[in-house]
């Protein structure tokens, strides 16, 4: 944010006013004994706004690299599960007469799109939408004994019918998730410390590439990610083979009527990145074709169907099954990249203009790097999270993304010049 940071008293008063109508931010997660029923959101009787605000300052030279180090440290800290699962960290003394606000929220509370919608609600009133209380109550309702009995009775009939209806879409997803890929240093045990880096691109350059080659913003972003991982593998002495990197790409299943619902509504596809290709334009076209093919064969709906099928089971069995699966090391997926459309309008926090929004997502399940992609105002920002011990070269990913976009932008400019020459 531009300008000096507000005082503690002013910021606390401002934040209290901005969240006064958001019920979920005053609720904590309540779990039943032995997970017999699904967790429910309940009012925190000890809610204290000060518990969710922290204040810190950057060490010299107080630049963006120091801010990235601080974000990495914040990603290491778990939220207090005895209280609502969110926190704001005010960061003072950023160079250029600026300050920063780190907003942390648990993934059970928000996904990418609802997280951005929440941040917009925290910002000063503008022309963006305002959520109503009706849209904020979301998530799975509590499950009573009668519903558990009902699910047990109807399971023998409902499950086979449901399985037959989704088998065609589910099979490719299950195969992609289970089939091992070529060994890679991108997949392996992760420690507790984190690294964080940022890559930036002008939206004008992204749009020029889109228009020149008939692709989408998501295609361009994934092509840049492909170029970055290709350079990283080569730097590490690994061969960028065709089956080297299968990437998890979350896809929002959120409709416009649930934009402000504070829960998680995502599915995913699992394409291979064409890191073996040396030509950036060929890589862009291959990314476009692969993402389109994965979407057309129903992978996003398949994952949603798998979760819907799991809900046919009593919650206790589903919860234990997912936890057990999480303890088995997966070797099929090497990375994660998610693209979230950001606010189109200029935002402000307590009268201070929001200059940039840096996205970040945690790492888990042996994925040593994740990339969150967010468009805001006139920039596309890539927030890269990495395991501290195994990703000391995380800056190579950021540099590789920017270099990949530059290469595509030069090809787009060359194509435009050729077209202009042909018409004169």
Contact between 376 and 345 under an 8 Å Cβ cutoff? The reply is no
Best CA proximity match to 294, nearest among 318, 311, 270, 316: 270
Does residue 381 lie within any of the structural domains?
A: yes
Q: Is residue 151 part of a domain?
A: no
Instruction: Kindly state whether residues 215 and 85 are assigned to the same domain.
Output: no
pLDDT digits (tens, 9 = 90+) for 71-120: 999 999 999 999 999 999 999 999 999 999 999 999 888 877 888 888 99
Give the CATH number of the domain where residue 336 resides. Answer: 3.30.559.30
Residue 60, token pair as written in the block: 């010299």
Q: Are residues 230 and 348 in the same domain?
A: yes
Q: Based on the fold, state whether residues 88 and 204 are members of the same structural domain.
A: no
pLDDT tens by residue, 3-12: 999 999 999 9
Contacts of 172 (CB under 8 A, 6+ apart): 294, 297, 299, 302
Closest CA to 398 of 218, 184, 224, 256: 224
Range of the domain at 76: 8-110
The residue out of 59, 77, 110 marking a domain boundary is: 110
For residue range 228-276, list pLDDT tens digits in order: 999 999 999 999 999 899 998 887 554 555 555 555 455 678 899 999 9
Q: Tell me how many domains the chain contains.
A: 2
The answer to whether 287 and 222 are in contact (CB under 8 A) is yes
Cβ neighbors of 166 (< 8 A, separation 6 or more) are 301, 302, 305, 306, 309
Tell me the pTM.
Answer: 0.83
Q: Choose the final residue of a domain: 110, 137, 165.
A: 110
**pLDDT tens-digit profile of 109-152?**
887 788 888 899 899 986 444 444 433 444 444 445 555 454 45
Residue 123 lies in a domain: no
Residues 274 and 382 in one domain: yes
- Mark whether 107 is an active-site residue: yes
> What number of other Cβ atoms are within 10 A of residue 309's Cβ?
17
* Spatial separation of the C-alpha atoms in residues 353 and 99, rounded to whole Å: 10
Can you say whether the dihedral through the CA atoms of 211, 215, 217, 219 is positive or negative?
negative
Q: Which residue of the set 107, 331, 377, 403 is catalytic?
A: 107
Q: What is the CATH number of the domain that holds 89?
A: 3.30.559.10
44 in a structural domain: yes
- What pLDDT score does 179 carry? 62
Which of 110, 140, 167 is the last residue before a domain boundary?
110
Query: In 3-state terms, what secondary structure has residue 391?
Result: coil
Same domain assignment for residues 193 and 92 = no
Q: Please say if the pLDDT value at position 417 is more than 80.
A: no
Same domain, 232 and 328: yes
Cβ–Cβ under 8 Å, residues 409 and 205: yes
Beta strands in 203-290 (DSSP E): 247-252, 266-269
Residue 391 belongs to a domain? yes
Contact 110, 74 (CB under 8 A): no
Residues 6+ positions from 159 with CB-CB distance below 8 Å: 309, 312
As given in the structure block, the two tokens for residue 13 are 């008063």
Contact indicator for 23, 136 with CB cutoff of 8 Å = yes
For residues 70 and 422, the model is more confident at: 70
Q: How far is it, in rounded angstroms, from Cα 391 to Cα 395?
A: 9
């Amino acid at each position: 944010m531009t300008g000096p940071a507000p005082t503690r008293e002013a910021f606390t008063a401002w934040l209290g006013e901005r969240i006064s109508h958001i019920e979920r931010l005053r609720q904590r997660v309540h779990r039943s004994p032995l997970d017999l029923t699904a967790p429910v959101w309940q009012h925190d009787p000890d809610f204290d706004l000060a518990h969710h605000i922290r204040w810190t300052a950057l060490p010299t030279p107080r630049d963006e690299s120091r801010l990235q180090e601080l974000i990495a440290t914040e990603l290491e800290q778990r939220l207090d599960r005895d209280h609502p699962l969110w926190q704001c960290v005010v960061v003072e003394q950023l160079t250029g007469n600026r300050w920063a606000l780190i907003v942390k929220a648990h993934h059970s509370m928000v996904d990418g799109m609802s997280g951005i919608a929440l941040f917009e609600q925290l910002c000063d009133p503008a022309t963006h939408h305002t959520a109503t209380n009706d849209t904020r109550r979301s998530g799975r309702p509590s499950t009573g004994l009668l519903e558990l009995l009902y699910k047990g009775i109807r399971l023998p009939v409902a499950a086979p019918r449901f399985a037959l209806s989704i088998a065609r879409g589910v099979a490719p997803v299950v195969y992609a998730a289970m089939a091992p890929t070529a060994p890679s240093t991108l997949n392996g045990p992760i420690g507790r410390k984190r690294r964080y880096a940022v890559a930036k691109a002008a939206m004008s350059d992204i749009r020029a590439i889109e228009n020149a080659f008939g692709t989408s913003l998501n295609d361009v972003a994934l092509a840049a990610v492909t170029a970055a991982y290709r350079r990283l593998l080569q730097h590490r002495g690994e061969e960028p083979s065709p089956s080297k990197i299968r990437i998890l790409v979350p896809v929002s299943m959120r409709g416009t009527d649930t934009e402000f619902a504070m829960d998680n509504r995502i599915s995913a596809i699992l394409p291979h990145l064409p890191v073996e290709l040396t030509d950036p334009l060929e890589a862009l076209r291959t990314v476009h074709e692969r993402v389109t093919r994965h979407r057309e064969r129903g992978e996003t709906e398949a994952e949603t169907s798998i979760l819907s099928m799991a809900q046919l089971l009593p919650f206790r069995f589903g919860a234990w099954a997912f936890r057990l699966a999480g303890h088995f090391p997966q070797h099929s997926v090497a990375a994660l990249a998610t693209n979230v459309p950001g606010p189109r309008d200029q935002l402000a926090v307590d009268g201070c203009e929001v200059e940039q929004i840096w996205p970040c997502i945690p790492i888990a399940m042996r994925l040593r790097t994740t990339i969150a992609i967010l468009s805001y105002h006139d920039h596309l920002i890539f927030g890269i999270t990495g395991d501290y011990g195994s990703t000391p070269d995380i800056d190579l990913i950021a540099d590789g993304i920017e270099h990949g976009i530059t290469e595509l932008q030069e090809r787009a400019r060359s194509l435009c010049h050729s077209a202009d020459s042909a018409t004169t």
